[in-house]
Amino acid sequence: MADCVFCKIAEREIPSAVVYEDEDVIAFRDLEPQAPVHVLVIPKKHLESVLDFGKENKVLAAHILADVIPEVAKAQGLSAKGFRVVTNVGEEGGQTVKHLHFHILGGRSMQWPPG
Ligand code: 5GP
Ligand code: ZN
């Protein structure tokens, strides 16, 4: 989608520190990390949020959750001590980039509830 920063990252028009890539998904380090490890996992296809997954993207949703997030977390050394997965949706969810993304945060203790 035009003017979407994450589409541009997926298309390698904007550089990022990529830690994982396959045909449908790319994961890269957050520009402003909130934890020692802060990776964003996104579908290459432009979907705005989890609200857009729908039935037609079930395979993609399962791939991200069942394959990619665990693989990235393990590769980043987070599986032993644990980590957090967050996806922000819309205004009150604190979503600033309107391209679906999952934050993987780790390397420190997380607080609950979040702010
Ligand atoms: P949100 O607030 O929408 O859940 O998260 C958006 C995240 O994208 C933020 O943590 C922000 O730091 C990150 N971000 C925004 N623009 C860029 C960029 O151009 N490159 C990278 N690597 N991260 C970005
Ligand atoms: Zn996009």
115 confidence band (pLDDT: 50, 70, 90): confident
Q: Report the pLDDT value the prediction gives residue 2, as an integer from 0 to 100.
A: 86
Ligand 1: list residues with CB < 6 Å.
Answer: 5, 14, 16, 28-32, 40, 88, 94-97
* pLDDT above 90 (res 42): yes
Tell me how far CA of residue 33 lies from CA of 27, 84, 103, 104, in angstroms: 14, 13, 10, 10
| Ligand 1 atom 20, closest CA | 31
Q: List, for residues 49-102, the tens digit of each pLDDT value.
A: 999 999 999 999 999 999 999 999 999 999 999 999 999 999 999 999 999 999
Distance 31 CA to ligand 1 centre (A): 6
- What's the mean pLDDT in 9-17? 98
Burial of 81 (0-12, 13-18, 19+ CB in 10 A): exposed
Indicate which residues carry an active-site annotation.
101
All structural domains of the chain with their residue ranges: 5-106
* Helices (H), ranges, the chain: 5-10, 58-62, 69-75, 90-93
Atom of ligand 1 nearest to the CA of 29: 22
User: Domain spanning 5-106 has what CATH number?
Assistant: 3.30.428.10
